Amino acid sequence: MLETILLVVSVLIIAIVLLQSNKASDAGQIITGGNETLFQNMKERGVELFISRLTLILGLIFFGISLALFLM
């Protein structure tokens, strides 16, 4: 039962991570110095905030189930 839930959570994490905005491309501009807004404090809003929180929640669920399966 837990293995099935872990599999579903894993697939959901993969899908959610693929939906997130690409923040790594902005980090590549550190070398070239082309992005002055890179270190500004930009807040996530709306869908980005929901996806970010959902990723955190699914990650915690994944960790908890994995730990439970390991200790069994």
pLDDT at 24: 57
In angstroms, the Cα distances linking 28 to 4, 6, 12, 16, 31 are: 38, 34, 28, 23, 6
CA 29 from chain centre, in angstroms, equals: 22
Nearest Cα residue to 16 out of 49, 45, 51: 51
Contacts (Cβ under 8 Å, ≥6 apart) of 2: 65, 68, 69
In residues, how long is the chain? 72
- Domains of the chain, by residue range, sit at 1-18+45-72
Q: Taking the chain (72 residues) in consecutive chunks of 10 residues, what is each chunk's mean pLDDT?
A: 96 92 59 58 77 94 96 91
pLDDT at 37: 57
